[in-house]
Amino acid sequence: MNIKIKEEARKMKLDAPKLAATAPEQRNRALEMIADALQSHASEIFEANHQDMEAAKASGVAAAVCKRLKFDEGKLRDVLGGIRQLISLPDPLGKVQLERELDEGLKLYRISCPIGVIGIIFEARPDALVQISTLCLKSGNCAILKGGKETVHTNRVLFRIIYESALAAGMPEGCMLQAEQHNEIDELLSCHKDVDLLIPRGSNQFVQYIMNHTKIPVMGHADGICHIYVDEKFDPEKAIPVIIDAKTQYTAACNTVETLLVNRKIAGEFLPVLADQLQAHGVKIRGTREVNGIIPCEIMEEEEFHTEYLDLILSVKLVEDVREAVEHINYYGSHHTDCILTEHQEHAEYFMQMVDSAGVYQNCSTRFADGFRYGFGAEVGISTGKIHARGPVGLEGLVTYKYRLFGQGQIVGDYASGKKKFHFRDFV
Amino acid sequence: MNIKIKEEARKMKLDAPKLAATAPEQRNRALEMIADALQSHASEIFEANHQDMEAAKASGVAAAVCKRLKFDEGKLRDVLGGIRQLISLPDPLGKVQLERELDEGLKLYRISCPIGVIGIIFEARPDALVQISTLCLKSGNCAILKGGKETVHTNRVLFRIIYESALAAGMPEGCMLQAEQHNEIDELLSCHKDVDLLIPRGSNQFVQYIMNHTKIPVMGHADGICHIYVDEKFDPEKAIPVIIDAKTQYTAACNTVETLLVNRKIAGEFLPVLADQLQAHGVKIRGTREVNGIIPCEIMEEEEFHTEYLDLILSVKLVEDVREAVEHINYYGSHHTDCILTEHQEHAEYFMQMVDSAGVYQNCSTRFADGFRYGFGAEVGISTGKIHARGPVGLEGLVTYKYRLFGQGQIVGDYASGKKKFHFRDFV
């Protein structure tokens, strides 16, 4: 079914204030109905997913990818748990962020409200559709959802169940829309008059394509080049498990470490021990000539430190001190998540102040950069941009605010002429 | 002097964490030194401005524009007052927005920090250079400033005084940069790797050009199509002065009203009275055929309601009720600032909830949409976008945040396997 995204987006934009005006109880009720309906339609969902899995196997999709396509009892339990957590979170809308009397009888409020219409293009994980659509609903945002074609049958069933439940709970018709055709992505990119924000999730090239072909603000990240710096004052008991976890716990994730910077003073002792552990976990080491003088590794050039492997490969370089580590990270990094392994509090403070990234860590795995692990309930993505939201983006990243000014006939002319004066009294 | 913007932006990006790490006292000290230096160099500034004014007159620049180019005792007093207000405002950096223990010994903080490098392209008002550069300094942001060519001499002197004072107060070399050549704008637009945000101020066409030719996030507005809706339950004592002020107090401003929507039930009585007043203030009325049946006016077509006049012209249309007014505004408006004139609290509530604009007003002039009038000290611009900042943008709109996570060797594998569990305890 080919829908006219442009026309639909226009309608959604005009419907968006209706969704924004719904009561929090009503939005939570919709989430409850969605959870119930997903549960009662479980067999239908699994059947559709079976169809997608068969098609994937038939077309030779790798087993690792197939694992992500799967939507079974376990995944259903997870998404239902996510929805229940979302219901329990406080309403992000209608919060009074500022209450200021500008002058007698002239009162300004800044109140949180939804962004409006959000377009989300996500990879081939059907559970992402449930997470993203329910996050948007809770935050009062209309959502245009485009999932991966590998799970088209699962997505279609999931969307129908979610959308019908939302309507039954009184949400406006334009609250969500599913796009299924690949060519609809380009149409969506041209809807800058009606779509307020795009959140693409996928490969570096895909996100770059989106960023280069739209005037709509884009939130997310292309690269995830995360670093770990092993300081001279490090604790090897912590360092080795953290490095192994950050590299191997889920290789394809954006928060996986790609580059290890090691303080020159401790490299001779530390690197051989680490190399054994990395080898035992199947990680290939690439390093500078200097690193190659200490442990066997493939030699790499300086400009290759821009590389995101998303694979069992690690770049290694020696640095003089925390200052040089910070310089390297700010120059070659992607401003995602970077970690220092140190027991030296001043070095940690310097690192966390000076590294220009969404996440700066001391003594823990970069893999913690995630909405669930930060306690946000869920995330729509991780932003390496610095505008609006940074790092994992949950409910708070999906709201903006508006200024409400209540007067009694005040005009600016009286303040310009000096007849009246502002007195600015804050209440919130 | 032609500078290599790209190289300079790269250097600034790497210097930005140094500026971000300065203490608030140090940034305030820099502001004090800037205020002192502007005062002691007053005659030099006035002389440079005299040169610009002579050149403007010689090339036939309109008197109204010349007024904006002028930088005299009064303007100096204003900008010095602005700097003093800025010094007195609390530091926007280093605020703990979230403090959460994810698990024993694993603590997450969200802390406000500067955006980084901001490019600001502003119109021909030398006082804007002082306001913008001091706002950026207070918020710890590096600024690339490009002012209008009409005040090139004034800007050069002002920039030199400000920059030298900033350096003398210990700010890093890359804290600010002045671009003077028009071709440097295009170079600036291509610096998406190093410039975090662009704030263009100028004509609709100019802002559109910027938005269409860069991958850098742009904050600001192209159109300012503001509306006033006169409800059936309006108070004429308030309505007429507010409409006249909103249209005539400063015609060229973005927050000037362009379209008046009048409830059909009160149009027959109200419009003739209003028309007399508008005429007395030199305002030309354009209206629908229906309006023309009540008062003499130039007839306009529906699609012309997208027009921003920035002149003594007002579009007028009749609507059935507050619902139709909201629909018109959300369809034809630019999401800037819109006002309802009513004594009916429910109508006001409906309007303020449903109009999708940065500012929604009851019974006061749209001209109040301004950083000074909101008590922000100053503004870098007004945003009609919904991402990051909306409405007048002051210090708060110039910061973002970063997540700091302090651990003791925690790895994600332990949480994925169920060996450990998050407990999420909030402190802030």
Parallel, antiparallel, or unpaired: how do β-strands A226-230 and A284-287 relate?
Answer: unpaired
Q: Which residues 65-94 in chain A show a CB within 8 A of chain B?
A: none
For the beta carbon of residue B196, count every other beta carbon within 10 angstroms.
24
Least CB-CB distance to B403: which of A241, A391, A409?
A391
The verdict on ipTM greater than 0.85 is yes
Q: How far is B390 from chain A (nearest CA, A)?
A: 7
CB contact under 8 A, A409 and B235: yes
Test the B interface: residue of A356, A357, A414, A428 with most B CBs within 10 Å: A356
Tens-digit pLDDT profile for residues B366-413: 999 988 888 887 788 888 888 888 888 888 888 899 999 999 999 999
In eight-state DSSP terms, residue B93 is S
Is residue B388 classed as helix, strand or coil in its secondary structure?
A: coil
What is chain B's mean pLDDT, rounded? 93
Closest CB from B217, B242, B249 relative to A217 = B217
Kindly state the helix (H) or strand (E) to which residue B238 belongs, with its residue range: helix B236-248
Distance from CA of A337 to the nearest CA of B (A): 9
Q: Which residues contact A328 (CB under 8 A, 6 or more apart)?
A: A227, A261, A305, A317, A319
Which residues in chain A are contacts of B407 at CB distance < 8 A? Answer: 361-365, 368
A80-98 burial, b for 16+ CB within 10 Å, e for fewer?
bebbeebbebebbbeeeeb
| pLDDT value of position B76 | 94
The pLDDT of residue B388: 82
B305-359 pLDDT, tens digit each? 999 998 999 999 999 999 999 999 999 999 999 999 999 999 999 999 999 999 9
Alpha carbon distance B37, B412 (integer Å): 54
CA pair distance A246, A230, nearest whole angstrom: 13
pLDDT given for residue A379 in this prediction: 84
What are the two backbone dihedrals, phi and then psi, of residue A240, each rounded to the nearest 5 degrees?
A: -65, -50
Rounded CA separation B405/A369 (Å): 9
Yes or no, beta carbons of A108 and B374 under 8 Å apart: yes
Partner-chain contact B410 A365, CB within 8 Å: yes
pLDDT tier, B3 (very low <50, low <70, confident <90, very high otherwise):
low
Question: Touching check for A363 and chain B: CB below 8 Å?
Answer: yes
> Which class for A152: exposed (0-12), middle (13-18), buried (19 or more C-beta within 10 A)?
middle
Chain mean position to CA B417? 49
Residue spans of chain A under pLDDT 50: 1
* pLDDT over threshold 60, residue B2: no
The edge-to-edge listing of strands for the beta sheet with A197-200 is A176-179, A142-146, A117-121, A197-200
Residues 377-396 of A with CB under 8 A from B: 385-388, 390-391
Amino acid identity for residue A336 in this structure: H
Tell me what pLDDT residue A363 has: 95
HSE-up of B167 (CA within 13 Å, CB side)?
Answer: 9
Residues B19-65 have pLDDT tens digits of 999 999 999 999 999 999 999 999 999 999 999 999 999 998 887 77
How far is it, in rounded angstroms, from Cα A161 to Cα A165? Answer: 6
A118 Cα to chain B: minimum distance (Å): 11
Residue of B nearest to A113 (CA): B353
Q: Which residues pair with A359 in a beta bridge?
A: A337, B403
- Residue A412 tokens, joined: 């600016």
Instruction: Count CB atoms within 10 A of the CB of residue B106.
Output: 23
CB–CB contact B400 A422 (8 Å): no
Percent of chain B beyond pLDDT 90?
A: 75
CA angle (A251, A256, A258) in 5-degree steps? 100
Looking at beta carbons, which residues of chain B come within 8 Å of A331? 14
Q: Is A174 in the B-facing interface, judged by CB distances under 8 Å?
A: no
Q: Calculate how close chain A gets to B59, using CA atoms only, in Å.
A: 31
Beta bridge partners of A426: A100
Amino acid A372: pLDDT: 83
Please give the backbone phi and psi of residue B204, each rounded to the nearest 5 degrees, phi first: -50, -50
3-state secondary structure chain A: CCCCHHHHHHHHHHHHHHHHCCCHHHHHHHHHHHHHHHHHCHHHHHHHHHHHHHHHHHCCCCHHHHHHHCCCHHHHHHHHHHHHHHHHCCCCCCCEEEEEEEECCEEEEEEEEECCEEEEECCCCHHHHHHHHHHHHHCCCEEEEECCHHHHHHHHHHHHHHHHHHHHCCCCHHHEEEECCCHHHHHHHCCCCCCCEEEECCCHHHHHHHHHCCCCCECCCCCCCEEEEECCCCCHHHHHHHHHHHHHCCCCCCCCEEEEEEEHHHHHHHHHHHHHHHHHCCCEEEECHHHHCCCCCEECCHHHHHCCCCCCEEEEEEECCHHHHHHHHHHHCCCCEEEEECCCHHHHHHHHHHCCCCEEEEEECHHHCCCCCCCCCCCCEEECCCCCCCEEECHHHHEEEEEEEEEEEECHHHHHCCCCCCCCEECC
pLDDT, tens digit (0-9, with 9 covering 90-100), for A209-261: 998 899 899 988 888 999 999 999 999 999 999 999 999 999 888 999 999 99
For strands A337-341 and A313-319, give the pairing.
unpaired
**Residue B203 CB partners (closer than 8 Å, separation 6+):** none
- Banded model confidence at residue B1, pLDDT cuts 50, 70, 90: very low
**Measured in Å, how far apart are chain B's first and last C-alpha atoms?**
50
Contact of A20 with chain B, judged by CB distance below 8 Å, is answered with: yes
Say how far residue B379 (Cα) sits from the centre of its chain.
5
Read off the pLDDT of residues B172-182 as tens digits, 9 standing for 90 and up.
999 999 998 88
Torsion of CA B27, B31, B34, B38, to 10 degrees: 170
| Cα B64 versus chain centre, distance | 22
Nearest neighbour of A361 by CB, restricted to B331, B361, B405: B405
Please give the structure tokens belonging to residue A303: 């400009």
Residues B143-167 pLDDT 10s: 999 998 889 999 999 999 999 999 9
In single-letter form, the type of residue at position B223 comes to D
Phi and psi, residue A194, nearest 5°: -120, -20
Integer Cα distance of B357 and A20 in angstroms: 13
Interface contact B364-A410, CB threshold 8 A: yes
Distance of CA A412 to the CA centre of its chain: 43
**Of the candidates B86, B373, B82, B80, the residue with the CA atom closest to the CA atom of residue A424:** B373
Helix (H) or strand (E) holding B137: helix B126-138
- 8-state DSSP, B22: S
Q: Indicate the residue of B17, B327, B356 with minimum beta-carbon distance to A330.
A: B17
Chains A–B, number of C-beta pairs less than 8 Å apart? 239
d(CA A189, CA A181): 14
Mutate to test the interface with A, among B231, B345, B365, B405 (most CBs of A within 10 A): B405
Closest CA to B368 of B398, B391, B389: B391
